[in-house]
């Protein structure tokens, strides 16, 4: 038996029972993380299967030492074990975790004043957070006898969410299923301002989604395909890189910066991205984009937002671009390390079609 498989077995034994041994769990996790470095794919998959057998038997009442099994399984996937195998199991379990976390958060938050997390004293004995509000250790413990499964779901939410993200970002078909799962999306959205944040973001990724991009000052428009796009910084960079060769004015960024953001290489030569435009939703069609400061901020697309927030026009997410003001610059990044991102132009619209779209968008805007 290889060390990594032995460590997986030891971990599953260590988490069993309501009074599982935290020191034994830490030791098993450390051994697993050490031994996986020298393990081949076959050994990693065998170790993963040991963990999956325990995850499959998980129940909300398990007093959640099993959360350590979940996140350890995620670390094996990051090292090369089967993302599909882990993802299938977690997609069956995570909804119950999210429901329990929401239930327990609501129980605690009912007793809290309406304060943002940053309004609390620095010496608050914080245990976790939900809806942007810190839940102190004493408050959390006060309700544990009433709903132990929910409490464990909330406090160990991170240990369930991170391996789910690791699996979904490495299996395209599984990610598509998760994005299309309305119940899962609603549960993640309900816990978006907590340790479930990254799952909520991931479920909003644009995977093979056709968009309309209009360039009013040039009288041109395009249908573009977005894939693996999770945030508007990446949207901005990759869209500029796709449209600039077609004659749309944009700022050139080094090819290796673009390749890094797309997930094609592991590092790049520069620590910043130069922006190209202001981005707007379709409601900006009635404004003069040469005067950005005169365009209502309500129709701007924030670089810090997410593509799923861009509203649709004619049933398609529609983006307008114009000269940037102020000038923008940000660090090159990949929202999810294992998720490739791309934007490609599918077709250019006829000038008459662009004119019609802009005219109708201007009159349709509320």
pLDDT digits (tens, 9 = 90+) for 257-272: 999 999 999 999 999 9
Environment class of 1 (CB within 10 Å of its CB; exposed 0-12, middle 13-18, buried 19+): exposed
For residues 339 and 255, what is the distance between their CA atoms, to the nearest angstrom?
A: 19
* Residue 116 pLDDT greater than 80, yes or no: no
Higher pLDDT among residues 144 and 284, named by residue: 284
Structural domain for 283, as ranges: 209-364
Whether residues 313 and 178 fall in one domain: no
Q: Residue written as tokens 């979940």?
A: 70
* Residue 123 pLDDT greater than 80, yes or no: no
Whether residues 13 and 118 fall in one domain: yes
pLDDT at residue 193, rounded to an integer: 94
Whether residues 194 and 271 fall in one domain: no
- How far is Cα of residue 282 from the mean position of the Cα atoms in its chain? 25
pLDDT at residue 132, rounded to an integer: 85
Overall pTM > 0.85: yes
pLDDT at residue 124, rounded to an integer: 58
pLDDT at residue 20, rounded to an integer: 87
* Residue 115 pLDDT greater than 60, yes or no: no
Whether residues 242 and 273 fall in one domain: yes
Last residue of a domain, one of 170, 202, 234: 202
* Residue 121 pLDDT greater than 80, yes or no: no
The residue-averaged pLDDT of 188-201 equals 96
Last residue of a domain, one of 176, 202, 228: 202
Last residue of a domain, one of 150, 179, 202: 202
Q: Model confidence at 126, in pLDDT bands (50, 70, 90)?
A: confident
Q: Is 263 left (phi over 0), alpha (psi -120 to 50) or beta?
A: left
Whether residues 186 and 245 fall in one domain: no
pLDDT at residue 364, rounded to an integer: 85
For residues 165 and 160, what is the distance between their CA atoms, to the nearest angstrom?
A: 9
Whether residues 217 and 171 fall in one domain: no
Q: How many domains does the chain have?
A: 2
């Amino acid at each position: 038996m290889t060390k990594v498989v032995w460590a997986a077995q030891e971990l599953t034994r260590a988490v069993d029972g309501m009074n599982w041994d935290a020191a034994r769990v830490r030791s098993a996790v450390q051994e697993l993380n050490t031994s996986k470095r020298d393990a081949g794919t076959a050994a990693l998959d065998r170790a993963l299967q040991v963990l999956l057998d325990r995850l499959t038997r998980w129940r909300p009442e398990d007093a959640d030492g099993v959360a350590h099994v979940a996140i350890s399984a995620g670390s094996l996937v990051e090292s090369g074990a089967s993302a599909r195998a882990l993802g299938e199991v977690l997609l069956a379990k995570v909804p119950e975790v999210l429901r329990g976390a929401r239930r327990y958060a609501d129980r605690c938050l009912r007793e809290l004043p309406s304060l943002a997390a940053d309004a609390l004293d620095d010496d608050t004995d914080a245990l976790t957070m939900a809806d942007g509000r810190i839940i102190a250790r004493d408050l959390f413990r006060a309700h544990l006898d009433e709903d132990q499964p929910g409490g464990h779901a909330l406090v160990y939410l991170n240990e369930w969410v991170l391996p789910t993200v690791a699996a979904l970002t490495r299996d395209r078909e599984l990610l598509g299923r998760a994005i299309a799962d309305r119940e899962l999306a609603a549960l993640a959205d309900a816990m978006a301002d907590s340790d479930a944040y990254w799952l909520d973001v991931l479920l909003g990724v644009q995977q093979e989604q056709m968009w309309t991009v209009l360039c009013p000052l040039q009288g041109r428009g395009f249908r573009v395909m977005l894939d693996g796009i999770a945030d508007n910084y990446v949207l901005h960079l990759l869209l500029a890189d796709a449209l600039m060769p077609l004659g749309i004015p944009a700022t050139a960024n080094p090819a290796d910066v673009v390749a890094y953001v797309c997930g094609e290489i592991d590092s790049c030569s520069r620590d910043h991205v130069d922006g190209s435009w202001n981005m707007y939703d379709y409601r900006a069609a009635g404004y003069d984009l040469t005067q950005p400061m005169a365009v209502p901020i309500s129709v701007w697309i924030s670089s810090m937002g997410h593509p799923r927030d861009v509203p649709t026009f004619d049933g398609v997410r529609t983006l307008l671009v114009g000269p940037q003001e102020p000038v923008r610059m940000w660090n090159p990044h990949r929202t999810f390390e294992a998720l490739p991102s791309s934007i490609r132009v599918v077709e250019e619209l006829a000038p008459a079609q662009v004119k019609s779209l802009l005219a109708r968008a201007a009159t349709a805007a509320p």
